[in-house]
Amino acid sequence: MKPAFSVPVKPVIQAPPLVEEALGDDERVELKARIKRLMKEQDAVLVAHYYTSGDLQDLAEETGGCVSDSLEMARFGHAHPAKTLIVAGVKFMGETSKILNPEKRVLMPDLAADCSLDLACPADEFAAFCDAYPDRVSVVYANTSAAVKARADWVVTSGIAAKIVKHLHRQGHKLLWAPDRHLGEYVRRVSGADMILWQGSCVVHEAFKAEALKKLHAEHPDAAVLVHPESPESVIALADVVGSTTQLIEAVRTLPNREFIVATDNGIFHKMHEVAPGKILLEAPTAGVGATCQSCAHCPWMAMNGLRKLAAVLEHGGNEILIEESIRARAAVSIQRMLDFAVAEKAGRIQLGD
Ligand code: SF4
């Protein structure tokens, strides 16, 4: 039977130019001191993603905040008593923090810090997708707007996506998935679920190249290959470990290998070097045959965050995340399903088997 809705292949979203904050030593020291004072005055805590600059990651840890993936950033903000959460990351992360912490003021260094996955999945198009398949359960990746989360049945992160989809598949559900086609394909392969996939992609992970990776691995045969599942299938096929940012950092810390080839945003190297100081980290190649790299292993939206902008936001206000309450409340339901699932699975109340 002809499908009621044909999922369009999304054009690759044009990323902005990559502009990283360059600071001299004196300015860095002065900015950090000023930000620390302002954070104290405003009862603020900083949560930073692994892909942001080393300066922001260090500042978050020096001031009692956290450096983590998007879910843990939101969870940390929820548990922390501070009245203001500063989210160094991209917009959907600020929104997720606000969804889970409506009573708190959530600020970001730059509200223009977006994500190609979020941009590729407008809420009205996603609603039409769901309407066309009313018998399917909709599962969306965390990298989506609050309005898309509000329309979805489940929100998942890369670390838990396969488990939740496997669970829904075993319950007999057929699924809709959005927005990342590579992560969707990966989850479909490992779960065996019947899934119709949205066709978005991440400008950073889309650029990793399998042939060039094989060549680099041949030059470093003892290196373990770590791949984030937003990467193309041909790159995932070469991985020793496929996992979320947190799972890849854990792999560098615990595996016995001395060398690692890492296919995810190179901002993660800051934390990897910290947890495994003696190990050698190589960037997976983004060049080679068919190269279309717009951002070459570093997200241009993540790079919009920096100490100067953070100081300006604390000094002059603005850049607050605000979400209409009806959207926020519905989005909170689909996020809470994932959080409840994670707790139940950890407690052994949900058995997934192999
Ligand atoms: S690295 Fe990719 S998925 Fe992450 S924020 Fe940037 S564009 Fe989005």
Q: What is the pLDDT of residues 86-114, one digit of tens each?
A: 999 999 999 999 999 999 999 999 999 99
Q: Give percent of the chain above pLDDT 90.
A: 87
pLDDT at res. 352: 77
**Can you count the helices (H) and strands (E) in the chain?**
15, 12
55 contacts 20 by C-beta, under 8 angstroms? no
pLDDT band at 14 (very low <50, low <70, confident <90, very high): confident
Q: Give percent of the chain above pLDDT 70.
A: 94
Whether 221 maps to a domain, the answer reads yes
State whether the beta carbon of 266 lies less than 6 angstroms from ligand 1: no
pLDDT band at 354 (very low <50, low <70, confident <90, very high): low
pLDDT at res. 13: 83
Q: In this structure, are 150 and 121 located in the same domain?
A: yes
Ligand 1 atom at shortest distance from the alpha carbon of 202:
2
Given the structure tokens 């890369």, which residue do they identify?
158
pLDDT > 70? residue 292 = no
Task: Calculate how far, in angstroms, residue 306's C-alpha sits from the geometric centre of ligand 1.
Answer: 17
Q: In this structure, are 60 and 108 located in the same domain?
A: yes
Task: Calculate how far, in angstroms, residue 186's C-alpha sits from the geometric centre of ligand 1.
Answer: 17
Task: Calculate how far, in angstroms, residue 108's C-alpha sits from the geometric centre of ligand 1.
Answer: 16
Which domain covers residue 163, as residue numbers? 117-203+331-346
The residue to mutate among 110, 227, 265, 266, having the most atoms of ligand 1 within 8 angstroms of its beta carbon, is 265
Residues 132-159 have a mean pLDDT of: 97
Q: In this structure, are 76 and 107 located in the same domain?
A: yes
pLDDT at res. 185: 97
pLDDT at res. 8: 63
Q: In this structure, are 183 and 247 located in the same domain?
A: no
Q: Whose CA is nearest to atom 6 of ligand 1?
A: 299
Contacts of 240 (CB under 8 A, 6+ apart): 224, 225, 226, 255
Q: In this structure, are 103 and 34 located in the same domain?
A: yes
CATH number of the domain enclosing 97: 3.40.50.10800
Whether 337 maps to a domain, the answer reads yes
Whether 290 maps to a domain, the answer reads no
pLDDT > 80? residue 322 = yes
Residues 44-54 have a mean pLDDT of: 98
Long-range Cβ pairs for the range 279-285 (8 Å, 24+): 279/252, 280/223, 281/252, 282/216, 282/220, 282/223, 284/208, 284/213, 284/216, 284/225, 284/227, 284/235, 285/208, 285/209, 285/212, 285/213, 285/215, 285/216
276 contacts 251 by C-beta, under 8 angstroms? no
Whether 235 maps to a domain, the answer reads yes
Q: In this structure, are 101 and 147 located in the same domain?
A: no
What is the pTM assigned to this prediction? Answer: 0.94
Whether 13 maps to a domain, the answer reads no
pLDDT band at 1 (very low <50, low <70, confident <90, very high): very low
215-266: per-residue pLDDT in tens? 999 999 999 999 999 999 999 999 999 999 999 999 999 999 999 999 999 9
50-80: per-residue pLDDT in tens? 999 999 999 999 999 999 998 888 889 989 9
pLDDT at res. 2: 45
Q: In this structure, are 337 and 190 located in the same domain?
A: yes
Ligand 1 atom at shortest distance from the alpha carbon of 180:
3
Whether 354 maps to a domain, the answer reads no
Q: In this structure, are 209 and 270 located in the same domain?
A: yes
Q: In this structure, are 98 and 33 located in the same domain?
A: yes
State whether the beta carbon of 90 lies less than 6 angstroms from ligand 1: yes
Whether 17 maps to a domain, the answer reads no
Q: How many CB atoms lie within 10 A of CB 319?
A: 21
Whether 147 maps to a domain, the answer reads yes
The whole-angstrom separation of Cα 226 and Cα 206 is: 15
pLDDT > 80? residue 161 = yes
Q: In this structure, are 198 and 338 located in the same domain?
A: yes
Q: In this structure, are 197 and 122 located in the same domain?
A: yes
Domains in the chain, number: 3
